[in-house]
Amino acid sequence: MKSKRLGGDGTGHVLVFDKGDEVVEQLLAFAKQEQVTAASFSGIGAFSDEDLKRVFREGRNRAGRPLWVMPWSVTQNLTDEDMDSLIAALREIPPNPNLVPAPELREQPPSGAQ
Ligand code: HEM
Protein backbone atom coordinates (compact mmCIF):
# COMPACT_ATOMS: atom_id res chain seq x y z
CA MET A 1 0.00 0.00 0.00
CA LYS A 2 1.21 3.49 -0.82
CA SER A 3 -0.03 6.61 0.92
CA LYS A 4 0.28 10.30 0.21
CA ARG A 5 -0.79 13.23 2.32
CA LEU A 6 -2.98 15.73 0.47
CA GLY A 7 -2.41 19.48 0.50
CA GLY A 8 -4.67 21.97 2.23
CA ASP A 9 -4.91 21.50 5.97
CA GLY A 10 -3.06 18.17 5.72
CA THR A 11 -5.89 16.04 7.09
CA GLY A 12 -6.54 14.17 3.83
CA HIS A 13 -4.69 11.15 2.47
CA VAL A 14 -4.75 9.11 -0.70
CA LEU A 15 -4.19 5.37 -0.28
CA VAL A 16 -3.35 3.08 -3.16
CA PHE A 17 -3.42 -0.66 -2.52
CA ASP A 18 -1.37 -3.18 -4.41
CA LYS A 19 -2.81 -6.41 -5.73
CA GLY A 20 -2.86 -8.95 -2.91
CA ASP A 21 -2.72 -6.36 -0.10
CA GLU A 22 -4.65 -7.15 3.09
CA VAL A 23 -6.83 -4.04 2.84
CA VAL A 24 -8.47 -4.00 6.28
CA GLU A 25 -5.28 -4.93 8.10
CA GLN A 26 -3.30 -2.23 6.32
CA LEU A 27 -6.03 0.38 6.76
CA LEU A 28 -6.13 -0.26 10.51
CA ALA A 29 -2.35 -0.03 10.75
CA PHE A 30 -2.40 3.20 8.73
CA ALA A 31 -5.16 4.70 10.90
CA LYS A 32 -3.20 3.86 14.05
CA GLN A 33 0.04 5.29 12.70
CA GLU A 34 -1.60 8.53 11.46
CA GLN A 35 -3.97 8.77 14.46
CA VAL A 36 -7.00 8.72 12.19
CA THR A 37 -10.05 8.11 14.38
CA ALA A 38 -13.75 7.49 13.68
CA ALA A 39 -14.29 11.23 14.02
CA SER A 40 -12.16 11.77 10.94
CA PHE A 41 -14.85 10.08 8.85
CA SER A 42 -18.13 11.30 10.26
CA GLY A 43 -19.62 14.49 11.66
CA ILE A 44 -17.49 17.60 11.81
CA GLY A 45 -14.34 15.50 12.22
CA ALA A 46 -14.45 15.14 8.45
CA PHE A 47 -14.69 18.92 7.96
CA SER A 48 -11.70 21.22 7.67
CA ASP A 49 -11.87 24.54 9.51
CA GLU A 50 -12.61 26.26 6.18
CA ASP A 51 -15.50 23.86 5.50
CA LEU A 52 -16.93 24.57 8.94
CA LYS A 53 -16.61 28.32 8.47
CA ARG A 54 -18.62 28.02 5.24
CA VAL A 55 -21.33 26.14 7.16
CA PHE A 56 -21.44 28.73 9.95
CA ARG A 57 -21.09 31.85 7.79
CA GLU A 58 -22.89 30.92 4.57
CA GLY A 59 -25.08 27.93 5.48
CA ARG A 60 -23.59 25.81 2.73
CA ASN A 61 -22.16 22.30 2.84
CA ARG A 62 -18.88 21.28 1.23
CA ALA A 63 -20.55 20.86 -2.16
CA GLY A 64 -21.94 24.39 -1.88
CA ARG A 65 -25.52 23.23 -1.34
CA PRO A 66 -27.61 25.42 0.99
CA LEU A 67 -28.32 23.76 4.35
CA TRP A 68 -32.00 24.15 5.21
CA VAL A 69 -32.97 24.33 8.89
CA MET A 70 -29.34 24.51 10.08
CA PRO A 71 -29.46 27.75 12.15
CA TRP A 72 -26.39 29.44 10.63
CA SER A 73 -27.90 32.93 10.96
CA VAL A 74 -26.92 32.63 14.64
CA THR A 75 -23.23 32.24 13.76
CA GLN A 76 -22.88 34.18 10.51
CA ASN A 77 -21.75 37.43 12.15
CA LEU A 78 -19.22 36.02 14.61
CA THR A 79 -15.86 37.77 14.59
CA ASP A 80 -12.96 35.74 13.18
CA GLU A 81 -11.64 35.30 16.71
CA ASP A 82 -14.98 34.02 18.02
CA MET A 83 -15.36 31.73 15.01
CA ASP A 84 -11.93 30.21 15.68
CA SER A 85 -12.84 29.77 19.35
CA LEU A 86 -16.15 28.10 18.47
CA ILE A 87 -14.44 25.65 16.11
CA ALA A 88 -11.70 24.91 18.65
CA ALA A 89 -14.35 24.26 21.33
CA LEU A 90 -16.34 21.97 19.02
CA ARG A 91 -13.21 19.97 18.28
CA GLU A 92 -12.73 19.38 22.04
CA ILE A 93 -16.03 17.45 22.21
CA PRO A 94 -15.45 13.68 22.08
CA PRO A 95 -16.86 12.23 18.84
CA ASN A 96 -20.03 10.20 18.76
CA PRO A 97 -19.39 7.33 16.34
CA ASN A 98 -22.90 7.56 14.92
CA LEU A 99 -23.11 7.40 11.14
CA VAL A 100 -25.97 9.61 9.99
CA PRO A 101 -27.42 8.74 6.59
CA ALA A 102 -27.08 11.31 3.81
CA PRO A 103 -30.10 13.60 3.48
CA GLU A 104 -32.68 12.87 0.82
CA LEU A 105 -33.94 16.09 -0.70
CA ARG A 106 -37.06 15.93 -2.82
CA GLU A 107 -38.45 18.43 -5.31
CA GLN A 108 -41.96 17.60 -4.08
CA PRO A 109 -43.08 16.55 -0.60
CA PRO A 110 -43.60 12.76 -0.36
CA SER A 111 -47.15 11.75 -1.20
CA GLY A 112 -49.34 11.80 1.89
CA ALA A 113 -47.24 14.54 3.57
CA GLN A 114 -49.20 17.50 4.93
C1 HEM B 1 -22.80 23.34 17.24
C2 HEM B 1 -23.91 22.95 16.64
C3 HEM B 1 -23.96 22.53 15.21
C4 HEM B 1 -22.98 22.15 14.35
C5 HEM B 1 -21.47 22.04 14.60
C6 HEM B 1 -23.60 21.84 13.09
C7 HEM B 1 -22.91 21.44 11.95
C8 HEM B 1 -23.52 21.09 10.76
C9 HEM B 1 -22.82 20.73 9.56
C10 HEM B 1 -21.30 20.64 9.43
C11 HEM B 1 -23.75 20.46 8.61
C12 HEM B 1 -23.46 20.06 7.16
C13 HEM B 1 -23.52 18.58 6.97
C14 HEM B 1 -23.35 18.23 5.49
O15 HEM B 1 -22.21 18.03 5.04
O16 HEM B 1 -24.33 18.14 4.76
C17 HEM B 1 -25.05 20.63 9.21
C18 HEM B 1 -26.25 20.44 8.58
C19 HEM B 1 -27.47 20.56 9.18
N20 HEM B 1 -27.72 21.09 10.42
FE21 HEM B 1 -26.36 21.61 11.77
N22 HEM B 1 -24.96 22.01 13.21
C23 HEM B 1 -25.22 22.44 14.48
C24 HEM B 1 -26.45 22.76 15.01
C25 HEM B 1 -27.65 22.55 14.39
C26 HEM B 1 -28.95 22.81 14.98
C27 HEM B 1 -29.17 23.41 16.38
C28 HEM B 1 -29.87 22.44 14.05
C29 HEM B 1 -31.36 22.49 14.11
C30 HEM B 1 -32.08 23.18 14.99
C31 HEM B 1 -29.17 21.95 12.90
C32 HEM B 1 -29.74 21.46 11.76
C33 HEM B 1 -29.07 21.02 10.65
C34 HEM B 1 -29.73 20.41 9.50
C35 HEM B 1 -31.21 20.13 9.35
C36 HEM B 1 -28.72 20.14 8.57
C37 HEM B 1 -28.88 19.47 7.20
C38 HEM B 1 -29.40 20.47 6.23
C39 HEM B 1 -29.42 19.90 4.81
O40 HEM B 1 -28.83 18.86 4.54
O41 HEM B 1 -30.04 20.57 3.98
N42 HEM B 1 -27.82 22.04 13.14
N43 HEM B 1 -24.89 21.03 10.51
> Using an 8 Å Cβ cutoff, are 40 and 49 in contact?
no
- 41, 70, 100, 107: which to mutate for ligand 1, most atoms within 8 A of CB? 70
Is 71 close to ligand 1, i.e. is its CB under 6 Å away? Answer: yes
Name the helix (H) or strand (E) containing 51.
Answer: helix 49-58
How many residues are given for the chain?
114
Per-residue pLDDT, 27: 86
**Atom 28 of ligand 1 has which residue's CA nearest to it?**
70
User: Which has the higher per-residue pLDDT, 29 or 7?
Assistant: 29
Query: What are the sequence ranges of the domains in the chain?
Result: 1-36, 37-97
Would you say residue 39 has pLDDT above 80?
A: no
Between the CA of 33 and the centroid of ligand 1 the distance, in Å, is: 31
Query: Among 34-38, 66-70, 88-92, which is the least confidently predicted range?
Result: 34-38
Q: What's the mean pLDDT in 31-57?
A: 82
Confidence of residue 48 (pLDDT cuts 50, 70, 90): confident
Q: What's the mean pLDDT in 52-75?
A: 93
Closest-CA residue to 10 (of 34, 27, 41) = 34
Would you say residue 62 has pLDDT above 90?
A: no
**Which atom, in ligand 1's list, is nearest to the CA of 51?**
10
Helix (H, G, I), strand (E, B) or coil at 2: strand
Is 55 close to ligand 1, i.e. is its CB under 6 Å away? Answer: yes
Is 103 close to ligand 1, i.e. is its CB under 6 Å away? Answer: yes
